A and B are shown apart, each in its own frame.
Chain A
Amino acid sequence: MFKITTEVITGETVREAVEGPDAGAVVLFLGTVRDNTDGRPVKCLEYEAYPPMAEKKMAEIAQEVSDKWGISRVAMVHRVGKLEIGEVSVAVAVASPHRKDGFEACKYAMDRLKQIVPIWKREIWADGEAEWVKPDAVYFDSLKPRKTDPQTG
């Protein structure tokens, strides 16, 4: 299961997708919406994705997990739209014969999701301001948009 969804995600959603008789362990990771970023209060988050490419990249990550650990039971689901504090934004489940591989593979899959899966997060601050989250080295704020031509915009 590799999916971008607007629906509520639960752990069960992805656990069911990976369960099987050859599994001795299911490692489940849930990413949830935190009420602050570096101490600044967050009201909610908005996620946007490029769904067909995101799902394709998730499937590629599962293939990498298969190549590295021989694990074929991987599920990844990411929610888009507006999410309230405490809601699940992403779920990754890995079922493996033994727990060590499962833990490693689950961490790897989540790390890779953050690197290559086209999903973007927008923070809506408690004070009403909003901004797209950017990696530390990137300062979008310093770039001002040129006014769009009404005919093309």
Chain B
Amino acid sequence: MNVTVKYFAVCHEMLDRSEEEMELPDGATVKTILQKLEEEWPEIAEFYEVMQMSVNWEYATENTELAEGDEVALIPPVTGGCDV
């Protein structure tokens, strides 16, 4: 199956791209993507505790199963608004 993976903020900067298409085996989960990314960027594992993932605009877990055409995103800790 093919999915789109989006990278924002610090992830975009670290991976030097904002999105990509990924070909994944049937039965793949969010974790499959994280494992693929770890090959390129081993330190990403240190982010996992603070980073969230989304699938089709909804927060997901590592075990969320993926389907053809899904839009997945790495969500670093959000910091919108202002600090007041």
Contact = CB atoms under 8 A, between A and B. Distances in A.
Interface size, A (range): 35 or more
A38 B76 CA distance: 22
A113 B42 CA distance: 31
Contacts of A48: 8-9, 12
Contact of A50 (B10, B75, B79, B83): B75
Given A143-B43, A144-B43, A146-B43, A118 B8 contact: yes
A12 B62 CA distance: 42
Contacts, number: 106
B14 interface: yes
Given A48-B8, A53-B54, A118-B8, A148 B16 contact: yes
B80 interface: yes
Interface of B: 6, 8-10, 12-17, 40-43, 46-47, 50, 54, 57-59, 73, 75-84
